[in-house]
A and B are shown apart, each in its own frame.
Chain A
Amino acid sequence: MTVDTQTADAAVPVSKPGNAIWRQASRNPGVIIGGSVLLLMTLIAIFAPFLGTVDPVNIDPISRLKKPLTDWFLGTDAFGRDIYSRIIYGARISLIVGAGAAVLSIGIGLFIGLISGYFRMVDAIVMRVMDGLMAIPGILLAIALVSLSGASLLTVMVAITIPEIPRVVRLVRSVVLSIREEPYVEAAISIGTPLPLILIRHVMPNTFAPLIVQGTYICASAMLTEAILSFLGAGIPPEIPTWGNIMAEGRVYFQIAPWIILFPGIFLSLTVLGVNVLGDGLRDTLDPRLAKRV
């Protein structure tokens, strides 16, 4: 680990102020609170087999629709499955989808944004395409993509990622447009640095701070979208316990067994809240320009 950081330092000299910003971020209350919630949920997801009391897919018709705080901590659903265990396992899917969508959309958006920001010819076309994509409501695009390519964890993740890409491209592009005029980029060009190296070494590091902030927001909205897709019946296959699927199955029984929707809803809201608060904290410290605007 220490070797890693040393080589990273050698490749891209990180100045003292950069480290100071990271230290400041780690003291921000939003980062601490949001980060702790996210860490807690990650631990729950990793240690799900030890925390869950019974098998989350175990069907027990005799004990169906049991109230919470009886023999079943958070009650049971219409098939007699333990809601608590299902929620614990569901944390895995939510976090995987959230993190996966964030990484995918930032990776793809970063690549398109760097190219688009640097080459005017490509830019005109790419930005028209992005404008068009942004005009299509994200959830509609996602449910159409999932239903047409067949529901699975991967298709859901990709379907959530695609509508998020235009925002990342716009963000990266706006950074590239201002950085390409900087003297150090001109200097790099003048000593004959090859273009890919200029983009990766001199331009790309400037996009990291805003991208980390954007990534947390994408993660939050991806977890919400995953639940909405399951809820609408166009999400991850219903046999996999996810927070969205637990709630979707509870729809019919809402009037007699509201806990089936309530508890996964609380877990989902808390996790998304944690990620959002983390994002706000990071934004305030890492990206003061954005902080002023929103």
Chain B
Amino acid sequence: MLAFISRRVLATIPVMGVVAIVIFLLLRLTPGDPAAIIAGDSATEAQIMQIRARLGLDQPIYIQFFSWIWRLLQGDLGISIISNIPVSTMIAQRLEPTLALATTTIIFAVFVAVPLGVIAAWRQGTLTDRGIMIFCVMGFSVPVFVMGYLWIYGISINLRWLPVQGYRPIANGFGPFFERLILPTLTLSVIYIALIARITRASMLEILDEDYIRTARAKGLTETRVLLVHALRNAAVPIVTIIGIGVALLISGVVVTESVFNLPGLGRLTVDAVLARDYPVIQGVILIFAFLYVLVNLAIDLSYTILDPRIRY
């Protein structure tokens, strides 16, 4: 068991290594001189040289890479070209809205999607099942930002029930904080609900065919008990796996949702950095997001043994 955990943790190192190489090469392999792109059209040759020196672009490429990695390992993500603030400080300042939105979305989506999927599988082929599946394919098809504007238009502008946009830190009181998270959560969770509900249904359908489900029903257990204790528990592994894989979808959605609802989180930081061509910040944020994704999936892999005692490493 301990050997498995350490092996699995070690396996994340090459993945993060590749992520680092890809992010590093992104700046070096894209056509054009990055220093000139950062400096803008009206920059003089001296200014471009200055930026090149500051980014270390005048060094040989392998030296650039290893000195960047060396600083990364010490927790140094570099300094923003625009604001001159360390990237790690900027990320720390923007972490709260993003984590808050991601957490509420995952909780809400799982609590809605798993029952939907279970009901769809239980009522397979009926109108209920069809309805849930149609909702899912529609959830995949409506762009996240269009969904956001529909919520804003219906709930905030027409009904005036909730604030249109903005964010209040949790330190300023839970009420205003939560109020401003409701619509972003509803917006972001639709696609996630669609994804989880589909997998839950598929996984449940497979389990409901098993002999032990027939046995459970034959011995007179209530349908709820058969579904929740006998079927759902055994269907859990694919569901939890898709929750982890869906984190990539969630991160992309966070970037868009934060822009729609004006939340000062990591997603907005990324978009602002991209538009300003603030390369150290772009590198840092992508690295952090990829790291979070790898961590979540590591945690999920490790949770398999708890979810399904048949899995032994």
Q: Which A residues form the contact surface with B (CB < 8 A)? A: 128-129, 131-141, 143-145, 147-150, 220, 224, 227-228, 231-234, 247, 254-255, 258, 261-262, 265, 268-270, 272-273, 276-277, 280, 292-294
Contact = CB atoms under 8 A, between A and B. Distances in A.
Interface stretch (B16-24, B70-78, B305-313): B16-24
Nearest to B251: A137
Contacts of B23: 136
B293 interface: yes
Given A128-B18, A143-B274, A148-B27, A136 B290 contact: yes
A220 B142 CA distance: 11
A268 B146 contact: yes
Interface of B: 14-19, 21-23, 26-27, 30-32, 34, 37, 137-138, 140-146, 149, 152-153, 157, 164, 198-199, 202, 206, 248, 251-252, 255-256, 259, 270-271, 274-275, 277, 282, 285-286, 289-290, 293-294
Nearest to A223: B143
Given A137-B290, A140-B285, A228 B141 contact: no
A137 B271 contact: no
B141 A147 contact: no
A102 to B, nearest CB: 16
Contact of B275 (A132, A138, A233): A233
A61 B30 CA distance: 39
Nearest to A224: B143
A132 B15 contact: yes
A137 B288 CA distance: 11
Contacts of A138: 248, 252
Given A141-B26, A220-B141, 7 more contacts: A132-B18, A132-B22, A145-B26, A145-B30, A269-B141, A269-B146, A272-B142
Given A147-B277, A231-B256, A247-B146, A133 B18 contact: yes
Contacts of A149: 30-32
B153 A258 contact: yes
Contacts of A277: 137
Contacts of B282: 144, 147
A279 B15 CA distance: 31
Given A139-B255, A268-B143, A134 B248 contact: yes
Contacts of B293: 135, 137
A132 B297 CA distance: 13
A233 B274 CA distance: 9
Contacts of A148: 26-27, 30, 32, 34, 37, 277
Contacts of B145: 227-228, 231, 247
Contacts of A294: 198-199, 202
Contacts of A134: 248
Please classify the interface of chain A as helix (H, G, I), strand (E, B), loop, or mixed, using the class held by over half of its residues. Answer: helix
The residue among A141, A147, A247, A280 with the most chain B CB atoms within 10 A of its own CB is A147
Contacts of A144: 26, 274, 282, 286
A129 B15 CA distance: 7
A254 B290 contact: no
B32 A150 contact: yes
A255 B137 CA distance: 29
A158 B277 CA distance: 19
Task: Select the residue from B34, B252, B271, B285 with max chain A CB neighbours within 10 A.
Answer: B252
B152 A254 contact: yes
Nearest to B145: A231
A95 B138 CA distance: 19
Interface centre among A135, A233, A258, A265 (most CB of B within 10 A): A135
A234 B30 CA distance: 15
Contacts of B256: 139, 228, 231-232
Contacts of B164: 255
B241 to A, nearest CB: 11
B271 A233 contact: yes
Contacts of B22: 132-133, 136
Given A140-B286, A255-B157, A280 B18 contact: no
A232 B259 CA distance: 8
Contact of A232 (B149, B199, B206, B255): B255
Contact of A129 (B18, B142, B259, B294): B18
A266 B51 CA distance: 45
A232 B271 CA distance: 7
Contacts of A273: 137-138, 141
Nearest to B270: A140
Q: Which of B14, B37, B143 lies at the interface centre, i.e. has the most chain A CB atoms within 10 A of its CB?
A: B143
A174 to B, nearest CB: 16
B190 to A, nearest CB: 12
Contact of B19 (A136, A227, A228, A292): A136
22 contacts: A131-B15, A132-B18, A132-B22, A135-B16, A137-B251, A138-B248, A138-B252, A139-B252, A144-B26, A147-B275, A148-B34, A149-B30, A150-B31, A228-B143, A231-B256, A232-B255, A247-B145, A255-B157, A272-B142, A272-B143, A273-B141, A294-B198
B213 to A, nearest CB: 17
B158 to A, nearest CB: 10
Contacts of B198: 294
A228 B293 CA distance: 21
Given A138-B252, A228-B145, A269-B142, A234 B275 contact: yes
Contacts of A129: 18
Given A128-B14, A137-B251, A139-B252, A220 B140 contact: yes
